[in-house]
Structure formats: structure tokens, C-alpha cells
Chains A and B, each alone.
Chain A
């Protein structure tokens, strides 16, 4: 035994003295995250009904090789690793899926069963969580495409084939979606660190004061990171669903203007 060793008794899986329904905490995560995972996978492989008029599904943006000149599968498969990687390595989602899917732990003070071989995020594959900031850079790049899509969503083909400004339900949905995605991306813990959190002394460097301002703003957003993570996830799913429904003719896009 080393100098730091401590003798404690390890409990069996699920052992707890908690009286509340602790499993209720993980149920919404299992349903929402699991449901989104299944839906996104099906939609990514479907490879059709992803665009209608000026609208493009966020699952397929940026749209690469839609005519299948060199990529025979669904175009979504070319780009999905970016947003998927950003969410999979996100500090909030890590908490959510470690608890809900890995039961590691299933809830606070509920035993996951003693495993002295536990390695956390120190070995493959979880050590890759450390590259979250690189997925952040990718996510910011994706936002540029999504804002472009949202902008294009306000221009419909008019008479003589000219583009004319208009507002459809889909335009508003795309706008809300990209706004939520932007807020989620800019509430990221890694961005908070890179923008200023890494400094020990804001007053000691030339760019310290503006970095402190940036850090403060991102901190304000970061406090709502969980809310933004869920709302943006739901909005991405609903946006894609709406465009699919319109593209298949089940819904009719209503023009407000």
C-alpha cells in the first residue's frame, strides 16, 4: 500500500441510501439524447428531402457534392463529424452521457459498482475529449455556413426566376436555429478559456482588459450552457424535421411576407 492509500468499502452497483427517484434525473437525457441520436443517424443516411426552396437542413450544411459526382453516399456523412464531435466532447454533454449512458455514476451518491480499473479521461478513447477546442474551431466554421443558409432562407425564387425577399415559416425556423447554435457555441467552456480564462492576471498584459470583457460575456453565456445545449439540439432536430416535412409535401410552408 502506498502513502496515499485509504481503505474503504466499495459498494455494489445501484447501492444507495437515497430515497428519491434518482433515476428520473437520467431519464430525459436517455430519451432526448438517445432519440436525437437515432433520428440524426437515420436522417444522415437518408440522403434526400434535405432541401426545399431556399431552405437547407442543418444536417446537410455545408452541402457537398449533392449530385454524387465523387461521393456516392449521403452528403451529410461528409460533414457530420464536425458538429457531432463538438457535442460529443462538450463539457456539458460529457456529464449528461457519462451519467445516463455509462452510468458512471448513474446519479450522485448512487454506486456504480467498485471498479479499481477506472481510468476516466486518461486513456483512449476518452482522452480524446481533450481536443474539444479543435471541434470548437470547426463549429465556428460551420456557423458561418449556417448563417449563410439562414440568410438565403429569406430569398425565394420569384417571377422571371429572380430572387425576391420573403419570409416563410422555414425562414424563421432557420433563423432561430442558427441563433441558438451560435449562443451554444459561444457559451463553450473552451472558448471561455481561450478568450481570457487562461490568463492569471487580466491587468498585467496589453490585451488583458478586452480579454477580461470577452471572458465576462462568455461566462454569462456559459452559465446557461446546459440550457443552450438542449435548446440548440432540439432546434436542430426540429429544423431538419420541418424541412423534411416540407420537402416531402406533408407540410406546406406558409409565406408570411
Chain B
């Protein structure tokens, strides 16, 4: 029999405590709310899975989830190819490397609510630089406070502006790690530019791209601050994404039970998709 050294637990203990207090305990309180009904006065009544059933059947949740999926899919479809393209176009060495890197990193350094506020002012139809330019110079009828399509375009452009850099920087890191010999060998083998991209650059970027897509998926699926500051979920409910809807329910209507149930469903979706994606992408690496 192998003797197990029980002292190991002692070393893991601090991490266990830390994780317990910053993740498990708050999460358990949410679980607690999700299965109970309360009318205030700190009185709680057992409600079973009722809230979960309600949320899963609610049209409001379906609509918010639909908008959320549309938003996430759209920004991924734009940011990933665009990020790869920019990373490919960036210089590999020389004076312009730091210039490009800093320029790329700038949008990510701006606090999220500031990004929302910036784009709000920027896009206002009468006083914003962009809004004014579109309406009064180009003559396009653009009003993101009134027109859902304009609001959607603005949110998506804002997210692309804010986060494409992340994809760029990760892809760039993947690209610069490719030894010159690969490009030289490809030239000798007579490979076209497309073949170089398809068989050298893309495979070498696969791991960082997996991380990039994962991060962008999670962040965009959970996005709150920027669209909240930019449109507040409007006009109407047209840009009410899941998190905005959740906050409305939890803090606007103070429906703690349904809000808790929705949080857990929301969290499960994010977790499930991330896990599926990561497992699929790294399936080949183990053997």
C-alpha cells in the first residue's frame, strides 16, 4: 500500500478557503434564493424548481437569450477574422512593432463604462462626431436612440473597436513564435500565400485562437457595462442583452427568486459552451 502524505491538504487549504469565499459561498446563496419565494420581511417559502421552469418557459428570457446569441455570434464573426487579418499585416520586427502593439493595446486599457460613455457621445445624432457626420454630412438617417438597427450597429462597432485588439495581440504572439525556417521551407516547397496561411500560420495560431475565442465568447456573452451605458437596453428592449435583463429583474423588479434562477441558467450556458468549445478544440492534443 502506498502511504499518502496527508500534509498536502495543509498546503491546499488557503486556496480552498479563498475559492470558497469568492466563488462557492456567493454562488450557494444564489442557489438558495433560486429555490425559494420571498415577499420581504426576510420570510422565505420553498418553491422547488418553479422559478427555473418559469424562466425557461418565459418569452422574455427567450428574447433576451436570442439577442445575446445574435450579439455574441456577430462580434465573434467579425472580431476573429479581422483580428487574424490585422495580426498578419503587422510587422514582425523593427521600429513599428512597439508602435503597433501600443496602438493595439490602447482600446483595451479604457475602463468599460468609459468606452460606453465615449461611444454614446460619439454616436449622438446631433452633437456626436460620428452621429453628426452621418446625419448632416453624408445625409444618412442614423439615430441609435430611436432606431433599433442603428443601436445594434453602434453596439457591435463599439465592441469590435474595444476588443478586436485582444484577438490581434494573441494571434500576433502566435505568429511571432513561428521560426523563420517554416517560411523558408514553405518557399522552397513552392507553397502559395494561402497554403502558408492554411498549413503553417493557422495551425500555429490554433492554441492562442482557442483562448481568444473563448475569452471573447465569455466576455461578450456576459457583457453588461458598455451596452448599458450606450443604450441602456433600448430603444425599447431591442438591445436588452441577458445581463441587462437580469439586472432589470433582480434590481429593478426585485424578483430575487426568478433572478437567481436566471443567473444559474445563464451561468450554466456560459460554462457549457466554453467547456464544449475548449474540449473540441483541444481534442487532438492529448494523443
| Chain A complexes with chain B | no
Q: Which residues of A contact B (CB under 8 A)?
A: none
Q: Which residues of B contact A (CB under 8 A)?
A: none
